[in-house]
Amino acid sequence: MPVPSADFKKALKRLSEPEKEALLLRAVRRDAELYETYRFELLADVTLAQVQEETADRIHELFNVAVTGRLLNRSLVKAVRASVQEAARARRITKNKQLEIDLLLYILRQCIDNYSGQFDSVYDGFYRATARLAAKLPALVLKSLHEDLWVEYKDDIDEILRQLHSRSKSHHLSFELPRKLEIPE
């Protein structure tokens, strides 16, 4: 992101209110994420829970579209990637890391609850994508959240990791899949 120069800031101050408004409206029309960010920050009726619900609906829709694909395993991998991007987008909009972690857990639950049959497919792309996301999550929880919240996520993450380790493909991963969320003392 470019840092606004002093000349730019002075020029911005010289603009009248209608000119500033027109400039802002033009900017948010071009950038959907900027629009969502300003919508969250400026409108009182847009809450964190509403942003989470809207993002969860988009993630759910991504998985619904994936099921209609010809190659289910590949479509599910694409849905996982796009869903992770949606979770990151929600974090950028709200500046809330806990929201991102909640959405990543939602993605993992979608994968395990609805598409775990694809884990046993001869194509291991979907299992690998799900396992990578699950492997990333414990470190993200420990790094991003306060110590008091770690315990809240421990059971969910441990259950997801246990279910992924119960598959025979867990022994053939090229990366380390943790067995459980290790909380430091």
- The model's pLDDT over 121-130, given as tens digits with 9 standing for 90+, comes to 888 889 999 9
Is pLDDT at 69 greater than 70 in this prediction? no
Rounded Cα distance, 68 and 45, in Å: 35
Mean pLDDT of 173-178: 84
**Which amino acid is residue 51, in one-letter code?**
V
Rounded Cα distance, 141 and 26, in Å: 37
Using CA atoms, how far residue 162 sits from 80, 115, 155, 170, in Å, is 20, 16, 10, 10
Mean pLDDT of 78-95: 95
Give the pTM.
0.87
Q: What average pLDDT does the structure give for the chain? A: 88
Domain 47-170: which CATH number of 1.10.287, 3.40.50, 1.10.10, 1.25.40: 1.25.40
Residues of the chain with CATH 1.25.40: 47-170
The tokens describing 52, both together, are: 């989470």
| Of 18-27, 151-160, 171-180, the least confident | 171-180
